């Protein structure tokens, strides 16, 4: 093949790949809306095809079926969670600041991508079972386990530095994750408390203060303590990377 033929083939291949990527993105965008609004089971391949404006055959070609579409959505959600978590972690200069930053990243993920956050933490009840699609469930469990382990490591470091009281880091890390899930669910979850954005922010501020003060040594939280008072939790969310 001549050099000219190779050069002509490369733009064609590039256009083909871009078209495939646009088709896949359209399918996933449609699935995100339909799975959360109608439910996974109620959404048919024809529904996805119509919402994405693609042929049913294209969905099979890209994802192998509805289970594959759901699996790809979960992968998107996990990638977003990792991106925001890493951004929050990176802005901290100490173990405690990194821990708070991870929480802020988690909250920003929930605010800016509520649909993907729900797929990650509050998925449709009729989603594929672990037997039908074992991959998504395993990847979610692996992601949570890895983040809890990293949080526990930060708690251990902070305790060794004397910044927080000595505690069993693994249960505390799991509690902190569950606490943030509960706070977020009160506003964004399927069974939310129907509170306003302003009320949600007030609740977040109270949760931040309560979690941090609960970790500090008693000498730094007692009303009559002469020790240095804890600083306000760092406001990292404004500096996290854009999605």
User: Using one digit for the tens of pLDDT, what is the confidence trace for 97-125?
Assistant: 999 999 999 999 998 999 999 999 988 88
Q: Is residue 3 part of a domain?
A: no
Q: Are residues 43 and 120 in the same domain?
A: no
Q: Is residue 58 part of a domain?
A: yes
In-domain check, residue 4: no
CATH of the domain at 197: 1.10.357.10
Residue 233 structural domain: 73-239
Q: Residue 224 pLDDT more than 60?
A: no
For residue 109, give both structure tokens: 């993920």
3-state secondary structure of 99: helix
Do the Cβ atoms of 49 and 56 come closer than 8 Å?
yes
* Percent with pLDDT over 70 in the chain: 84
CA distances from 67 to 31, 41, 142, 220 (A): 11, 10, 19, 52
Nearest to 100 by CA among 229, 209, 242, 241: 209
Residue 160 to residue 183: CA distance in whole angstroms: 29
Whether residue 9 lies inside any domain: the answer is: no
**pTM surpassing 0.95?**
no
DSSP structural state of residue 206: H
Judge if 42 and 132 occupy the same domain.
no
Q: Rounded to an integer, what distance in angstroms lies between the CA atom of residue 60 and that of residue 53?
A: 14
The highest-confidence range among 77-91, 110-124, 174-188, by mean pLDDT, is 77-91
Q: How many domains does the chain have?
A: 2
Q: Are residues 27 and 58 in the same domain?
A: yes
State the CATH number of the domain containing residue 59.
Answer: 1.10.10.60
Burial profile 146-183: b = 16 or more Cβ within 10 angstroms, e = fewer: ebbebbbbbbbbbbeeebbeebebeebbeebbeebbeb
**Does 2 fall in a domain?**
no
pLDDT, tens digit (0-9, with 9 covering 90-100), for 22-68: 999 999 999 999 998 899 999 999 999 999 999 999 999 999 999 99
């Amino acid at each position: 093949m001549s050099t000219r033929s190779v050069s002509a083939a490369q733009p064609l291949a590039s256009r083909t790949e871009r078209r495939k990527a646009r088709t896949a993105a359209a399918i996933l965008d449609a699935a995100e809306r339909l799975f959360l609004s109608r439910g996974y089971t109620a959404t048919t391949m024809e529904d996805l095809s119509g919402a994405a404006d693609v042929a049913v055959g294209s969905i099979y070609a890209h994802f192998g079926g509805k289970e594959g579409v759901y699996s790809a959505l979960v992968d998107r959600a996990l990638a977003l969670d990792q991106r925001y978590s890493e951004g929050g972690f990176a802005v901290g200069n100490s173990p405690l600041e990194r821990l708070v930053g991870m929480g802020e990243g988690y909250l920003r993920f929930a605010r800016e991508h509520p649909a993907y956050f729900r797929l990650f933490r509050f998925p449709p009840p009729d989603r594929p079972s672990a037997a039908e699609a074992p991959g998504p469930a395993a990847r979610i469990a692996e992601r949570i386990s890895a983040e809890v382990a990293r949080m526990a490591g930060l708690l251990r470091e902070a305790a060794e530095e004397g910044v927080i009281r000595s505690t069993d880091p693994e249960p505390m890390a799991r509690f902190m994750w569950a606490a943030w899930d509960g706070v977020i669910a009160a506003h964004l979850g399927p069974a939310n408390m129907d509170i306003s954005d302003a009320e949600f922010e007030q609740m977040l501020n109270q949760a931040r203060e309560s979690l941090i003060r609960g970790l500090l040594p008693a000498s730094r939280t007692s009303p009559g303590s002469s020790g240095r008072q804890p600083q306000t939790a760092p406001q990292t969310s404004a500096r996290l990377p854009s999605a």
